[in-house]
Structure 1
Amino acid sequence: MTILSENNKEKLKILRENPPFDQCHCMQLFRLQSPRTSKFVTRLTYFIELSKSDKFVCCQDNKFIKWISINQLLNNNYVTNLWGPELIQFCRQSTKKPIVQQIEEFSLERAYFFLPRDTPRNLEESILQSAHLTEKDVERLYTDFVEHCFPSTYQTFESFRCYMSKHGFDRQDCRLKSLFNAFNVQNNGFLSFHELLLGLATIEPDTVHGEWRARFIFRYYNNNGTGNLDLNEFKKMIIDMNQAISLSLESIDLKVKECLNEIGTKIVNGKTVITSDDFVQAIGSHRFRGTSSLCRSSKSLFEKISRAIAAKALKKSDTFHNIESIVDQFKGICLKCKEKQYHLASHSVKVDSNGYIIHSQTEQFTINYNGLKSYEMSAINYSKEFQFNMESSAPNLIIKLIREFHSNKGTTRKPKGLLQNDQELLWKLITALCNDMDLLLDNEDKCVRISSPCFVIGDIHGNLDDLLTMEQVLWKRIPCVGANFLFLGDYVDRGQWSIECCLYLMAFKILCPNKVTLLRGNHEVRSLQTFYTYKNECLKKYGQIYGEKIWESTNKIFDKLPISATIDNDIFCSHGGIPKNATTINEINQIDRKLIDPEKESSIAWEILWSDPCHNQQFLEICNFFGIDHKDTNGYLNNIKRGTAYQFNEFAATKFLHNNGLTHMIRAHEVPQSGYQFHFNGKCLTIFSCSHYCGNQNHCACVLIDQKILRIIRLDTYNNNDDNMK
Structure 2
Amino acid sequence: MAKKSGKCKNKRKKSLDRLPTSSSSRDVLTANKPRSSQSIGLARRHNSVTSIASQYNQSCGRFTGRITPNESLKQVKEALMVDSYGQSLYDCVLVYLQCPKHKKVALTSVDKGQFLPFGPIYNGESWLTSVATLINHILDLGNKVNESRTFTEPTVVDILRVQVPIYFQFITRVTYYSELSTYACHTGQCCKDNPIVAWFDISSVRLKNNSNEQYLGPEPVIFNELAVPNHAKCREITVLDALVYEVGTGQRTPQGQLLNFCGYTEEDVLRLYGDFILHCYPSEFMTYYTFETYLKRADLKLCNKARQLEAIFRSFNFNQTNGYINFNEFILGLAMIDKLNGYRANDFNEIKESNGQDKSDTKTKSKKVSKSKSVSKSASMVKTKSGNKIHNKGTANFTSQLNEITAGYIFRYFAKSTNVNSSSKHNQLSEEDFNNALTSLSLSEGEILKLKQLGSKNKSPLSEKDFISIVASRLSPNTCSSIYSACTISMLDHFTLKTAYPPINFRQIKKRQDCINAIQAKLSRARELCSNCRSKRYTAASYLVKVSSNGIICDPTSNRQPDVERMSKAKRALSEHYFMPNYVCNQMADMIRKFASKLQMYQLKGNFEALDWVKERNACLGKIEKVCEDARQLFERESRVVKITSPCYVIGDIHGNLRDLLIYEQIIWRQGPYFCTANCLLLGDYVDRGDWSIECILYLLSMKLLAPERLFMLRGNHESRALQREFTFFNECIDKFGSVDGNRIFELFNKTFDYMPVCAIIDEQIFCAHGGIPSCANKLEQIMSIPCPLVDPDCDSEIAMEILWNDPITSQEYSDLIANSEEAKNSAQLLPKGFLSNTKRGTGCYFSEQAIRNFMEGNSVSHVIRAHELIPSGYQYHAGGRCLTVFSCSYYCDGINQAAVAMVHDSKIRVVKVDTGTKEDLNRRVRP
TM-score, structure 2 as length reference: 0.40
Instruction: Work out the CA distance in 2 between the residues paired with 1:401 and 1:452.
Output: 31
Instruction: Work out the CA distance in 2 between the residues paired with 1:500 and 1:701.
Output: 21
Instruction: Work out the CA distance in 2 between the residues paired with 1:431 and 1:689.
Output: 28
The alpha carbon displacement at 1:361 in A equals: 2.1
1:446 aligned to 637, 640, 651, which one?
640
Instruction: Work out the CA distance in 2 between the residues paired with 1:554 and 1:659.
Output: 35
Instruction: Work out the CA distance in 2 between the residues paired with 1:549 and 1:358.
Output: 36
2:888 aligned to 673, 689, 692, which one?
689
Q: Encode CA deviations 1:300-355: one digit per residue, 9 max, x unaligned.
A: xxxxxxxxxxxxxxxxxxxxxxxxxxxxxx99972897467532111112333332
The alpha carbon displacement at 1:480 in A equals: 1.6
Matched, 1:404 2:598: no
The aligned residue for residue 676 of structure 2 is 481
What one-letter code is carried by the residue in structure 1 that aligns with 2:573?
Answer: N
Q: Encode CA deviations 1:359-404: one digit per residue, 9 max, x unaligned.
A: 322112221645x5xxx442123322x22212x1111111111111
The alpha carbon displacement at 1:491 in A equals: 0.3
Instruction: Work out the CA distance in 2 between the residues paired with 1:675 and 1:620.
Output: 27
The aligned residue for residue 608 of structure 1 is 803
Instruction: Work out the CA distance in 1 between the residues paired with 2:843 and 2:702.
Output: 32
Matched, 1:722 2:917: no
Change beyond 3 A, Cα 1:337–1:423: closer
Instruction: Work out the CA distance in 2 between the residues paired with 1:691 and 1:497.
Output: 14
The aligned residue for residue 207 of structure 2 is none
Give the number of the structure with larger relative contact order, counting CA–CA contacts within 8 Å between residues 6 or more apart: 2
Instruction: Work out the CA distance in 1 between the residues paired with 2:908 and 2:922.
Output: 34
Instruction: Work out the CA distance in 1 between the residues paired with 2:528 and 2:749.
Output: 33
Give secondary structure in 2 for the equivalent of 1:470: helix
The alpha carbon displacement at 1:419 in A equals: 3.4
Matched, 1:528 2:714: no
Instruction: Work out the CA distance in 1 between the residues paired with 2:637 and 2:563.
Output: 29
Please give the residue correspondences for 1:198-209 in structure 2 after superposition, counting only pairs within 5 Å.
none
The alpha carbon displacement at 1:410 in A equals: 8.0
Matched, 1:437 2:631: yes
Tell me if structure 2 keeps the 8 A contact 1:417–1:541: no
Moved more, 567-576 or 477-486: 477-486
The aligned residue for residue 860 of structure 2 is 661
Instruction: Work out the CA distance in 1 between the residues paired with 2:611 and 2:773.
Output: 36
Instruction: Work out the CA distance in 2 between the residues paired with 1:469 and 1:337.
Output: 31
* Larger Rg, first or second structure (1 or 2): 2
The alpha carbon displacement at 1:722 in A equals: 2.8
Percent identity (aligned): 40
Instruction: Work out the CA distance in 1 between the residues paired with 2:612 and 2:904.
Output: 34
Please give the residue correspondences for 1:500-519 in structure 2 after superposition, counting only pairs within 5 Å.
500-519=695-714
The aligned residue for residue 389 of structure 1 is 580
What one-letter code is carried by the residue in structure 2 that aligns with 1:343?
Answer: T
- Structure 2 unmatched ranges of 5 or more: 1-525, 602-609
The aligned residue for residue 751 of structure 2 is 556
Instruction: Work out the CA distance in 2 between the residues paired with 1:687 and 1:336.
Output: 28
1:471 aligned to 638, 655, 665, which one?
665
Q: How many residues are matched?
A: 388
Q: Encode CA deviations 1:560-603: one digit per residue, 9 max, x unaligned.
A: 10000000000000000011111111111111111111111100
The aligned residue for residue 491 of structure 1 is 686
Instruction: Work out the CA distance in 2 between the residues paired with 1:646 and 1:550.
Output: 33
What one-letter code is carried by the residue in structure 1 that aligns with 2:580?
Answer: N
Please give the residue correspondences for 1:1-400 in structure 2 after superposition, counting only pairs within 5 Å.
334=530, 338=534, 341-367=537-563, 369-370=565-566, 376-384=568-576, 386-390=577-581, 392-400=582-590
2:765 aligned to 570, 590, 593, which one?
570
Tell me if structure 2 keeps the 8 A contact 1:458–1:702: yes
Matched, 1:709 2:908: yes
Tell me if structure 1 keeps the 8 A contact 2:629–2:752: no
Change beyond 3 A, Cα 1:652–1:512: same
Give secondary structure in 2 for the equivalent of 1:421: helix
Instruction: Work out the CA distance in 1 between the residues paired with 2:694 and 2:668.
Output: 22
Give secondary structure in 1 for the equivalent of 2:918: helix
Give secondary structure in 1 for the equivalent of 2:613: coil
Instruction: Work out the CA distance in 2 between the residues paired with 1:397 and 1:357.
Output: 16
Change beyond 3 A, Cα 1:715–1:418: farther
TM-score, structure 1 as length reference: 0.51
Instruction: Work out the CA distance in 1 between the residues paired with 2:527 and 2:747.
Output: 38
- Structure 1 unmatched ranges of 5 or more: 1-329
Q: Encode CA deviations 1:41-63: one digit per residue, 9 max, x unaligned.
A: xxxxxxxxxxxxxxxxxxxxxxx
The aligned residue for residue 164 of structure 1 is none
What one-letter code is carried by the residue in structure 2 that aligns with 1:448?
Answer: V
Give secondary structure in 2 for the equivalent of 1:364: coil
Instruction: Work out the CA distance in 1 between the residues paired with 2:743 and 2:555.
Output: 36
Give secondary structure in 2 for the equivalent of 1:508: helix
Tell me if structure 2 keeps the 8 A contact 1:409–1:417: no
The alpha carbon displacement at 1:510 in A equals: 0.1
What one-letter code is carried by the residue in structure 1 that aligns with 2:616?
Answer: D
Matched, 1:456 2:650: yes
Tell me if structure 1 keeps the 8 A contact 2:591–2:611: no
Tell me if structure 1 keeps the 8 A contact 2:546–2:553: yes
The aligned residue for residue 309 of structure 2 is none
Tell me if structure 2 keeps the 8 A contact 1:456–1:702: yes
Instruction: Work out the CA distance in 2 between the residues paired with 1:530 and 1:336.
Output: 42
Tell me if structure 2 keeps the 8 A contact 1:577–1:607: yes
The aligned residue for residue 615 of structure 2 is 421
Please give the residue correspondences for 1:641-652 in structure 2 after superposition, counting only pairs within 5 Å.
641-652=840-851
The alpha carbon displacement at 1:673 in A equals: 1.0
What one-letter code is carried by the residue in structure 1 that aligns with 2:905?
Answer: D
Instruction: Work out the CA distance in 2 between the residues paired with 1:566 and 1:725.
Output: 37
Change beyond 3 A, Cα 1:332–1:379: farther
Instruction: Work out the CA distance in 2 between the residues paired with 1:632 and 1:503.
Output: 42
Q: Encode CA deviations 1:268-295: one digit per residue, 9 max, x unaligned.
A: xxxxxxxxxxxxxxxxxxxxxxxxxxxx
Matched, 1:543 2:543: no
Q: Encode CA deviations 1:482-529: one digit per residue, 9 max, x unaligned.
A: 211100000000100000000000001000001111100000001111
Change beyond 3 A, Cα 1:336–1:363: closer
Change beyond 3 A, Cα 1:460–1:538: same
Instruction: Work out the CA distance in 2 between the residues paired with 1:332 and 1:606.
Output: 39
What one-letter code is carried by the residue in structure 2 that aligns with 1:574?
Answer: A
The alpha carbon displacement at 1:626 in A equals: 2.1
Tell me if structure 2 keeps the 8 A contact 1:445–1:593: no
Tell me if structure 1 keeps the 8 A contact 2:903–2:911: yes
The alpha carbon displacement at 1:481 in A equals: 1.8
Moved more, 550-559 or 360-369: 360-369
Give secondary structure in 2 for the equivalent of 1:718: coil
Tell me if structure 2 keeps the 8 A contact 1:333–1:568: no
Moved more, 638-647 or 473-482: 473-482
Give secondary structure in 2 for the equivalent of 1:367: helix
Change beyond 3 A, Cα 1:725–1:431: closer
Q: Give the RMSD, CA atoms, in angstroms.
A: 2.4
The alpha carbon displacement at 1:425 in A equals: 1.6
The alpha carbon displacement at 1:620 in A equals: 0.7
What one-letter code is carried by the residue in structure 2 that aligns with 1:494?
Answer: R
